[in-house]
Amino acid sequence: MKRRIATTTWFCAVALAVGLVGTAEARRSNPPPGRNGSTASGGATCGDCHGDATGPGSVEILGVPAAYASGIVYDLTVRVQDDDQFGAGFQLSAEDPSGKPIGSFMTVDATTQLNGGWINHTGTGVSTSTADWSALGNAAEFALRWQAPDADVGPVRFWVVGNAVDNNGAFTGDVVYLSDETIDAAPENVPTVSEWGLIVLTLLLVTAGTLVMHRPAAVCGKPTQ
Cα 173 to Cα 50, 55, 127, 160, 213: the distances in Å are: 8, 11, 17, 20, 83
Chunked mean pLDDT (size 10), the chain, 225 residues: 38 36 59 95 85 84 98 98 97 98 98 97 97 98 98 97 88 89 84 56 65 51 50
* Nearest to 116, CA basis, from 95, 126, 101, 99: 101
pLDDT score at 194: 53
Other CB atoms within 10 Å distance of the CB of residue 152: 15
Name all domains of the chain by residue range, CATH numbers in brackets: 2-185 (2.60.40.4060)
Tell me, what's the pLDDT at 47? 74
Q: What is the DSSP string of 146-185?
A: EEPPSS--S-EEEEEEEEEE-SSSSSTT-EEEEEEEEEEE
End-to-end CA distance of the chain, in Å? Answer: 127
SS3 (DSSP) at 140: strand
pLDDT at 25: 54
pLDDT at residue 4 in the model: 40
Q: What is the pLDDT of residue 117?
A: 96
Element (H, E) at 193: helix 193-213
Query: Which pLDDT score, from 0 to 100, does residue 180 have?
Result: 98
pLDDT at 14: 33
Distance, in Å, from the CA atom of 90 to the CA atom of 161, rounded to the nearest integer, reads 5
**pLDDT at res. 210:** 58
**pLDDT recorded at residue 151:** 96
The predicted structure's pLDDT at residue 13: 34
The dihedral formed by the CA atoms of 183, 189, 194 and 197, expressed in degrees to the nearest 10: -130
Q: What is the pTM of this model?
A: 0.73
What is the separation of C-alpha 160 from the centre of its chain, rounded to a whole number of angstroms? Answer: 6
Amino acid 27: pLDDT: 66
Beta-sheet pairing, 87-95 with 73-81: unpaired
Q: Which of 111, 96, 107 is nearest to 28 (CA)?
A: 111
Q: How many residues does the chain have?
A: 225
Question: SS in 3 state form for 32-55?
Answer: CCCCECCCCCCCCECHHHHCCCCC
Q: What pLDDT is stored for residue 24 in this prediction?
A: 53
